[in-house]
Amino acid sequence: MTEITHYSQVWAHRTPRKRLFMWLGWLALVALFVWCWQVMTENTIWAFVADAPRQAADIGGRMMPPRLSYLPELMVPLWDTINIATLGTLGGVIMAVPVAFMAARNTTPSQHILRPIALFIIVASRSINSLIWALLLVAIIGPGILAGIVAIALRSIGFVGKLLYEAIEETDARQIEAVQATGASPAQVVSYGIVPQVMPAFWGISVFRWDINIRESTILGLVGAGGIGLKLQASLNVLAWPQVTMILILILGTVVLSEWVSARVRHAII
Amino acid sequence: MDWARVAAGLERGQRFVMGFLSPDFASRWTDIRQGLIESLTMTLTSTVVGVLISVPIGIGAARNLAPRAVYYLCRGIIAVSRALQEIIIAIFLVAMFGFGPFAGFLTLSFATIGFIAKLLADDIEEIEEAQAEAIRATGASWGQLVNYAIQPQVMPRLIGLSLYRLDINFRESAVIGIVGAGGIGATLNTAIDRYEYDSAGAILLIIIGIVMVAEYGSSYLRKFLQ
Amino acid sequence: MLHLKGLGKTYKTGDVALSDVTLEVPKGQIMGLIGPSGAGKSTLIRCINRLVEPTAGAVMLGDVDLASLGKRELRRQRRRIGMIFQEYALVERLTVMENVLSGRLGYVPFWRSFLRRYPPQDIQNAYRLLDRVGLMEHADKRADALSGGQRQRVGIARALAQEPELLLVDEPTASLDPKTSRQIMRLLTEICAERGLPAIVNIHDVPLAQQFMQRIVGLRAGRVVFDGPPEDLTEAALTEIYGAEDWHAMRAGDAEQAEAEAEARARMEALA
């Protein structure tokens, strides 16, 4: 025997225990997946699924070519959509600012009452999609642009509020202390110590949300809340596929354009 | 603007707020339960399938790993998936596959691809190139390069993103039901159509509750896995 | 052993990194490559294993021209060349042992590397190498848990795991303190001597190069301007390589470092 042989020839990447846990973990995930799949597809009619490629080809065939002459009729709803997004963002931002200041640890007036309320407002607004807000609002205040604007605004509170309060919490404490040291009142501390620091973030977040809102407001009409979605809904109802294509192209164009605008603006701010 | 309509609506709004404050879980419980089960199973299956498909597409869409042609193809798939809204995809998939959670599952899987594959590809493009160079210098094949140099660097983030997407998919599952793709959204839609605001309030509270649990759960899990 | 014939590299931007480099490295020789930054040292060693594609000339390793190989054959030939990197280039989130075994990637099929089921003799050899570089007890730690000097030792073990016929070493001490730098250089030269392994070492530290190298090649603007034993590296030769000002500035820096080291040593002795 040479001296070399005392080096082990065995090496395991993980300890047996760890390996066992890993296998069990994967097994559990697969089992969960299979179970979920079965529950989910319990009522699925497989004949429809098998028929899907034919349906797709059929719809695809009907959709072409897009009906260009429909375009002029879409301009007013498109303008409505942009208004819904813009006014909704405006309203959302206005409501989000006080919520954010209440939610941020370093500016909240009361840690135990207002802060949890503000956080709940943020979570509630974020968990409910604008389409659901629109669904509710259409039922409450009736179909139309107003429902859309309010839905977008309510949805924006959570998004803007969350990002803004995080920005407020990340402000540089020394600058705030410096303002406090001058004997400033709490309101003065906020306006001189915090507002200047979060201003860029605030504009960035607002523009970003506006961009998302353009996207979301294009479909609000599906539940009756105004804008170009109304036309989409109407065209779908009468199976006017060439019109549907035209609307989708227009939506896609608007979304791409708004994304470009928002990216440019944010770039200019930062 | 029809102010009379708004005034009438205010009364209904009041009823809705009352319904939200005294939610009725009981009277529509079987419907709510069915919707929830559909939503949750749809969320899990679509996230798993979406992530599984996203991984090869994400690798293909990374400039530093894929040949030009594959790169453009994968970036194209991602762009299409991101540009189309879930709800519009759902409309078409419901038209093709019929009503129910299967169409919803397909919708969410498709949307997951755009999200995960894009972020994964961006992440792969930002890896430390030196580690990949060292593995390449040993004479490793392309598969070994991915397994040894790329995977260790991007795995933690991929897990984080998948958990985050799980959360998003649940929220979306509540929406696509409105156009017939199954899930809790369908139940909610029915409740609102019938002006049953107390049941609608209960459903919204359940959605908010699950989203909160999912959010805290996934951030805890991410910390645990780091 | 290694023969570079008229090697040239022009980047797509039009920058000429190397032109007409002809060098021969016989078996067992440790050759230092010095020159100012941007002289093409890094490009030169990367052209040898084609991490950078040369645009002219031939790279003969034994009888094989590496510059003309296809992809698959290149991978097979890369196994013969071990490489050690500046900043270690370990896969940080893998364990030390996985990093060392990754030197075997060119030899094992994908499934073995994927399942981490390496052949027993590879594992045995990896342990032997870890022992040689003094890291036996760190085998199952993650690479990012080690200090700089320890990481570079793992880098050396990874390169040796390939059972290479040639070592390419790119600034091995660039991110190490002077004491650790000397330890690493000593380890490298010892190992090369043990195995009769030729090595090309990129090095920016001239005194270190003079201390450890058997032969020094000076590169300036992509051309060889000096080739000889360390003793021949006179003031005039260094001025030729680095240009007058750079060389004096660098020497001043070295003098400072030497002073600092001497002081540190004196303090240690005082403590002892």
Each residue's pLDDT tens digit, B87-103: 888 888 888 888 888 88
Chain B residues 83-102 within an 8 A CB cutoff of chain A: 83-85, 87-88, 91-92, 95-98, 100-102
Cβ pair C123:A11 closer than 8 A: yes
Contact of C121 with chain A, judged by CB distance below 8 Å, is answered with yes
Residue C199 has what DSSP assignment?
A: E
**Averaged pLDDT for residues A255-260:** 84
Does any domain span residue A2?
no
Residue C133, phi then psi, degrees to nearest 5: -90, 5
CB A205 within 8 A of CB A100: no
pLDDT of residue A34: 93
* Amino acid at site B206: I
Size of interface A-C (CB pairs under 8 A): 27
CB C154 within 8 A of CB C99: yes
Locus of tokens 């001597």? C193
Cβ pair B16:A132 closer than 8 A: no
Residue C86, phi then psi, degrees to nearest 5: -65, 145
Give the chain A residue nearest C112 (alpha carbons). A13
Whole-prediction pTM: 0.82
Give the chain C residue nearest A5 (alpha carbons). C124
User: C91, C97, C168: best mutation site toward chain B, by most B Cβ within 10 Å?
Assistant: C91
Count the Cβ atoms, other than its own, within 10 Å of residue B126. Answer: 12
- Beta strands C81-84 and C166-170, pairing class: parallel
Nearest-Cα distance to chain C for B196, in Å, is: 55
Give the chain A residue nearest B41 (alpha carbons). A36
pLDDT of residue A1: 38
CB-CB neighbors (< 8 A) of A7 in chain C: 124-125, 127-128, 131
Count the Cβ atoms, other than its own, within 10 Å of residue B170. Answer: 25
* Amino acid at site C89: A
pLDDT, tens digit, 9 for 90 and up, residues C104-146: 999 999 999 998 889 999 999 999 999 999 888 898 889 989 9
Query: To 5 degrees, how large is the angle CA A183–CA A185–CA A186?
Result: 125
Cβ pair B140:C158 closer than 8 A: no
Using DSSP, state whether B139 is helix, strand or coil.
coil
pLDDT, tens digit, 9 for 90 and up, residues A70-100: 778 778 888 888 888 899 999 999 999 889 8
Query: To 5 degrees, how large is the angle CA A138–CA A144–CA A145?
Result: 115
Of A4, A10, A13, the CB nearest to C128: A4
Q: What CATH code is carried by the domain that includes residue A234? A: 1.10.3720.10
Contact of C131 with chain A, judged by CB distance below 8 Å, is answered with yes
pLDDT, tens digit, 9 for 90 and up, residues B38-75: 889 999 999 999 999 999 999 999 988 888 999 999 99
Nearest-Cα distance to chain C for B73, in Å, is: 24
Omega before C109 within 30 of 0, i.e. cis: no
Residue B24 has what DSSP assignment?
A: -
Structural domain for A102, as ranges: 70-269
Q: How far is CA C255 from CA A163, C249, C261, in A?
A: 53, 10, 10
Residue, of B220 and A2, whose pLDDT is higher = B220
Residue A270 has what DSSP assignment?
A: -
Locus of tokens 């039901």? B177
Give the Cα separation of A202 and A199 in Å (integer). 5
Q: How many domains does chain A have?
A: 1
CB-CB neighbors (< 8 A) of B128 in chain C: 92
User: C127, C131, C132: best mutation site toward chain A, by most A Cβ within 10 Å?
Assistant: C127
Give the Cα separation of B4 and B9 in Å (integer). 8
Nearest-Cα distance to chain B for C64, in Å, is: 16
Whether the per-residue pLDDT at A5 is higher than 60: the answer is: no
**Averaged pLDDT for residues A50-68:** 78
Cβ pair C127:A7 closer than 8 A: yes
Query: To 5 degrees, how large is the angle CA A106–CA A109–CA A110?
Result: 100
CB C130 within 8 A of CB C97: yes
Cβ pair A10:C120 closer than 8 A: yes
Give the Cα separation of B68 and A113 in Å (integer). 57
Closest CA to C202 of C69, C47, C54: C47
Residue B146 has what DSSP assignment?
A: I
Does any domain span residue A204?
yes
Cβ pair C116:A13 closer than 8 A: yes
Of B40, B42, B96, the CB nearest to A55: B96
Cβ pair A9:C121 closer than 8 A: yes
CB C188 within 8 A of CB C164: no
Does any domain span residue A7?
no
Size of interface A-B (CB pairs under 8 A): 119
Does any domain span residue A237?
yes
Beta strand residue intervals within chain B, DSSP E: none
Cβ pair B147:C113 closer than 8 A: yes
Q: What percent of chain C has pLDDT over 90?
A: 32
Beta strand residue intervals within A94-157, DSSP E: none
For chain A, which residues lie within 8 Å of any Cβ of chain C, measuring from their own Cβ? 4-5, 7-13
Q: What percent of chain A has pLDDT over 90?
A: 9
Cβ pair C113:B137 closer than 8 A: no
Contact of A139 with chain B, judged by CB distance below 8 Å, is answered with yes
Q: Which of A138-147, B10-19, C175-184, C253-262 has the lowest mean pLDDT?
A: C253-262
Of B101, B195, B211, the CB nearest to A127: B211
Whether the per-residue pLDDT at B25 is higher than 80: the answer is: no
Q: Which of A58-72, A177-191, B159-173, C209-223 has the lowest mean pLDDT?
A: A58-72
Interface confidence, given as ipTM, is 0.83
Locus of tokens 């490629």? A53
pLDDT, tens digit, 9 for 90 and up, residues C67-105: 888 888 888 899 999 999 988 889 988 999 999 999 999
Report the mean per-residue pLDDT for chain C: 86
Cβ pair A7:C124 closer than 8 A: yes
Nearest-Cα distance to chain C for B42, in Å, is: 32
Does any domain span residue A152?
yes
Does any domain span residue A90?
yes
Which tokens sit at B102? 């299967």
**Averaged pLDDT for residues B190-200:** 82
Contact of A63 with chain B, judged by CB distance below 8 Å, is answered with no
Residue, of C222 and B25, whose pLDDT is higher = C222
Which tokens sit at A2? 């040479």
CB B58 within 8 A of CB B117: yes
Cβ pair C127:A10 closer than 8 A: no
Give the Cα separation of B171 and B214 in Å (integer). 10
Q: Work out the end-to-end distance of chain A between its first and last CA atoms, rounded to an integer number of angstroms.
A: 70
Cβ pair C124:A13 closer than 8 A: no
The pLDDT confidence band at residue C157, using thresholds 50, 70 and 90, is very high
Cβ pair A11:C131 closer than 8 A: no
Q: What percent of chain B has pLDDT over 70?
A: 96
Give the chain A residue nearest B212 (alpha carbons). A123
Give the Cα separation of C49 and C20 in Å (integer). 17
pLDDT of residue B207: 84
Residue A95 has what DSSP assignment?
A: H
- Beta strands C215-220 and C166-170, pairing class: unpaired
Helix axes A71-103, A114-127, angle to 10 degrees: 160
Task: Please list the residues that pair with C216 across neighbouring strands.
Answer: C32, C228
Closest CA to C241 of C268, C265, C223, C259: C223
Cβ pair C121:A7 closer than 8 A: no
CA C32 to chain centre: 9
Does any domain span residue A205?
yes
pLDDT of residue C261: 67
Report the mean per-residue pLDDT for chain B: 85
Q: What percent of chain A has pLDDT over 70?
A: 98
CB A207 within 8 A of CB A262: yes
- The full length of chain C comes to 272
Task: Please list the residues that pair with C223 across neighbouring strands.
Answer: C220
Chain B residues 24-43 within an 8 A CB cutoff of chain A: 37-38, 40-42
3-state secondary structure C80-125: CEEEECCCCCCCCCCEHHHHHHHHHCCCCCHHHHHHCCCCHHHHHH
CA A20 to chain centre: 39
Contact of C128 with chain A, judged by CB distance below 8 Å, is answered with yes
Nearest-Cα distance to chain C for B116, in Å, is: 22
The pLDDT confidence band at residue B109, using thresholds 50, 70 and 90, is very high
pLDDT of residue C96: 93
Convert B186-220 to b/e letters by CB count within 10 Å (16 or more is b): bbbbbbbeeebbbbbbbbbebbbebbbebeeebee
Does any domain span residue A131?
yes
Cβ pair B102:A40 closer than 8 A: yes
